[in-house]
Amino acid sequence: MGTARLNVMSLPWPTDWAAVFGRERPLILEIGFGRGQFFLHLARTFPEHNLIGLEISNRCMTDVERALARHRLANARAVYAMAETALYHLFTPESLEQVHINFPDPWFKTRHSHRRLMQRDTLDAIASRLKPGGALYLATDILDYAEMSAALLAETPSLENALPTPWASALPGRVVTKYEATARREGRECYFFHYRRGAQP
């Protein structure tokens, strides 16, 4: 695509995404796209949306940027950024139609718990950036992380569970990523969340 790498420190705060993409479209965000299989699937599934993927791995950034160029997916851009910094500074309130989080690092050790993505402040930031009716999707293969996330989500007044249970073992239409396939092959259950932003501020 011949475009420069996007970095949270070089983008304007907040970012005019219509100017970045050259068109005004609903925004979809994936936090931590890893090797990019799910991100590329989103780009193909939602051609009339603008997609932003956040990642802090240079290798993953390079791989996904090359894949986007190779497949001519001009509706998706990778951004080098920590999720918290991007949520607070790149996006305005009620600007996102969907947020996807796939298998975030659980940071098992107590001294690393502050690095977990699913925390009160970060979840509140995600909720505030979603449009009313916007969707939050979370997937994890760690039961403790699922239980922790379920408690946080249930305590978030502006988010409403779109499922009849705290989580589901599968979501219709979801592409199976390599990580998910490996988890299932190794006997680990996967837990999927689907919440919607309500009308409450």
User: Catalytic positions, please?
Assistant: 105
78 vs 194: CA distance, rounded Å: 24
Closest CA to 104 of 38, 44, 163, 34: 34
Question: Is the four-CA dihedral 124, 125, 127, 132 of positive or negative sign?
Answer: positive
158 vs 124: CA distance, rounded Å: 9
Q: Rounded to 5 degrees, what angle do the CA atoms 29, 148, 183 make?
A: 70
Query: What single string gives the DSSP state of each residue in 59-84?
Result: HHHHHHHHHHHHTT-TTEEEEE--HH
85 vs 22: CA distance, rounded Å: 24
Locus of tokens 């607070």? 88
Are 175 and 38 in contact by the 8 Å Cβ rule? The answer is yes
